[in-house]
Homo-oligomer: A and B are copies of this chain.
């Protein structure tokens, strides 16, 4: 799937895009062998799109309500990523589930970052779920995306302590710091060929 020496990334983001920024920074610094070819958002006002433009990265807004069926929307997303030459799709705070048809278009080369130590606390509000459960350790997980909700093969994880007086905000901030380190690290493992999506439960690792 590689084109040239670097892995071409398409990033999908709905919001602030701080994980996107971490990827942009590490790509620009040459610490990961990848470049972000396009940033796509379902929200035309997403700060993620501004970040892309600031770094001269193609920025595309695709609004869900301008498409009929979900399949048509997902097709448009996949078309945009493919036309930009994406080898790997990185979900970075993208607030929609991507369909199996979308995943098939990229043959499993789709990754996500989740703010919990999966399989604990999949889905929305993972940090609140962790606090409500009362765990003492949470963290973040980079994984390949499959048809389930945060169930795909794990690439890397990082543990984060939960403190007695944590709120959703303080815990989320502590986890986010680790996300900004973990996501580029995982992308670099993929870029150098050390990890790829397998057909089974686990990613294929050679590191």
- Chain A residues near B (Cβ < 8 Å): 117-121, 132-137, 139, 153-159, 164, 201-203, 205, 207
Contact = CB atoms under 8 A, between A and B. Distances in A.
A100 B204 CA distance: 44
Contacts of A117: 117, 120, 135, 137
A139 B117 CA distance: 11
Nearest to A198: B134
B154 A134 contact: yes
Closest 7 CB pairs of A and B: A159-B159, A134-B202, A136-B157, A137-B157, A120-B120, A134-B154, A137-B159
B164 A207 contact: yes
Nearest to A136: B157
Contacts of A205: 164
Contacts of A133: 119, 154, 201
Contact of A118 (B135, B139, B154, B207): B135
A153 B134 contact: yes
Contacts of A159: 137, 139, 159
A132 B201 contact: yes
A123 to B, nearest CB: 13
B154 A135 contact: yes
11 contacts: A117-B117, A119-B121, A119-B133, A120-B120, A132-B201, A133-B201, A134-B201, A135-B157, A136-B157, A137-B158, A164-B205
A203 B134 contact: yes
